[in-house]
Chain A
Amino acid sequence: MSIVFYVLTTITVMGALAAMLLKNTVHCALALSVVFAGLAFLFMSLDAQYAGWAQVLVYIGAVAILVVFAILLTKGSETPKDGVFSRTWFVGLVIAAGVFAVLGWAVMGSMKALPQLTAVPQVTNLDIGNALVGRYVLPLEIVAVLLTAAMIGAVIVAIHEKEGQK
């Protein structure tokens, strides 16, 4: 594998570890942005430029900022007094290690059956656009309804109740 792959993977995995291990919540959110950026560049190294830039636009431009705002609105930047890891942290770690072991075993075990086509799929933005309004128009419309419902729902869930209605 090329050096670009190793550098990007190192950055992404380090960022993921930092996002899950740091004590300060805002640092975790910023490490998450690093993970998003690393993943976007990994997508681009896989010749999926549209997905890569969509990842930057949606995740770093919106989701990361949303997470950071939520942290500030819930006073998450103060360090908790009981520690940052839950009482049952060991079980969680064992479960995650088990999941990784199973996934790794599945990948290594099926090595012979994995496809290895080196031809890059020739996909232009025009093809993506045509597919979105042609073959995939139903998922597109459903995702539009979902996003509208999510937006209205998030506002209703998080809105401040007026004093008289409490």
Chain B
Amino acid sequence: MIGFFDQIFVLLQHWIVSFLPAAWQSAAGVLLAVVAIICLFPALFALTTVFERKGIARIQNRLGPNRVGPYGLLQPIADGIKSLTKEDIVPMSADAAVHFLAPVVMVVAVFMGFAVLPMGRNMVLVDMDAGLLFYFAIGASAELAVFMAGWSSRNKYSLLGAMRAVAQMISYEVPLLLSGVTVVMITGSLSLTKIVAAQNHYSYGLPHWYIFTPWGCAGFLMYAIAATAESNRSPFDLPEGESELVAGYHTEYSGFKFALFFLGEYLAMFSISGLGTTLFLGGWSAPFSFLNWVPSWIWFFSKLMLSIFVFIWLRGTLPRLRQDQLMNFAWKFVLPMCLLNLFVAAAWRFMGDGWLRWVVCSAVLIAAYVTLGWSEMHRGKIGPRSYRYAE
């Protein structure tokens, strides 16, 4: 009974596919799973837009959308109708082909990332041996779409926003990869299903998720910071800051193309949160062993929505970082911490079981955090205001 609800989608897929001749069955099964992903995640995106606007509004002591439907929950439908019926304006001097292709490349790259996330027991679209490498490779290609959008608009603000966004995404890609590499090192496999399986053990009822180890906790924090910067979310949203750059690289997009960029950004947020839960939070495994009767996909999506809630919370709370503060942070704090985390994880692995490795690893990480943070926070006094003019 418990297994039935856990595997309900897999059984549904097998049942639907059994109506077809045997030669088509595997392809049809994959096609069905792809259609499910394409329908589910945009629906989740629609729900998230309304939660984000309500959440940020409440943090800012106002109400948020509350006219369309009960408590404003039908707002995404209104937004969708608006974006579909708006006039699609392409600037006359814009590069038409590249301008058209940029949102397409972005959305395709982001959707491909969902193919390797294990959303439940036996619920991966493609069980790749090098799943993590695939995910990071696809994520890197999404940056090209951002640049294409900014450059093809022939607009100074778009180009500036695009270059800032690409510089930010490249800078934070290295910490993102390094925190993932730490997990791979401990697990011994690049396959995401094996990483989840390695965390699916319990001792005394508590799970063996990587976040509950010193190196996993530090790694998860670095991953979260890098993920926030990769998706251009506040406090790293200078490239699309409304007060500085109109709308950054998607200034000249209107109507459905803007909706595609919006969709692409939120889906990137979902997939990077999904990867974070897979790597550090145990994927689809339950927090306590006595909760195993709850279906695995409910756990995965709950952890995903929890990460999204934290993203929304950060957006409403923290002020925006300036571009140079952002880059300094990436290269001088997050990257050294990630490298140190790699060593600490190796020390953890070779020290064997016991309380000593907890103490040593935690001490090293906390000392490094304090040292690096101290040198960052107290760098130089703030002198009299100086001006630098553009060349």
Contacts and interface: CB of A to CB of B under 8 A. Distances in A.
Q: Do chains A and B touch in the complex (CB under 8 A)?
A: yes
Interface of A: 24, 26-27, 30, 33, 37, 49-50, 53-54, 56-57, 60-62, 64-65, 68-69, 72, 77, 124-126
A26 B143 CA distance: 15
A62 B133 CA distance: 15
A120 to B, nearest CB: 14
A56 B137 contact: yes
Given A26-B151, A30-B98, A125-B190, A64 B144 contact: yes
B111 interface: no
21 contacts: A26-B151, A27-B95, A27-B98, A30-B98, A30-B144, A53-B130, A53-B134, A56-B140, A57-B136, A60-B144, A61-B137, A62-B140, A62-B170, A65-B170, A68-B151, A72-B159, A72-B163, A77-B151, A125-B130, A125-B189, A125-B190
Residue from A26, A37, A54 with most neighbouring chain B CB atoms (10 Å): A26
B173 interface: yes
Interface of B: 95, 98, 128-130, 133-134, 136-141, 143-144, 147-148, 151, 159, 163, 166, 170, 173, 188-190
Nearest to B97: A27
Given A26-B151, A72-B163, A33 B133 contact: no
B140 A57 contact: yes
Contacts of A124: 129
Contacts, number: 63
Given A53-B134, A65-B170, A125 B129 contact: yes
A49 B151 CA distance: 32
B148 A30 contact: yes
A60 B133 contact: no
A108 B13 CA distance: 49
Give the dominant DSSP class at B's interface.
helix
B134 to A, nearest CB: 5
A24 B188 CA distance: 46
B143 to A, nearest CB: 6
Contacts of B190: 125
Given A27-B98, A125-B130, A61 B151 contact: no
A57 B130 contact: no
Nearest to A24: B95
Contacts of B151: 26, 68, 72, 77
Contacts of A125: 129-130, 189-190
Contacts of B136: 57
Nearest to A36: B141
Contacts of B134: 53
B141 A61 contact: yes
Nearest to A124: B129
Nearest to B170: A65
Nearest to B142: A61
B143 A65 contact: yes
Contacts of B189: 125-126
Residue from A30, A54, A56, A72 with most neighbouring chain B CB atoms (10 Å): A30
A126 B139 CA distance: 23
Contacts of A33: 144
Given A65-B147, A65-B166, A57 B129 contact: no
B139 to A, nearest CB: 8
Nearest to B141: A60
A33 B148 CA distance: 12
Given A62-B170, A125-B129, 8 more contacts: A30-B148, A53-B137, A56-B137, A56-B140, A61-B140, A61-B141, A65-B147, A126-B189
Nearest to B188: A126
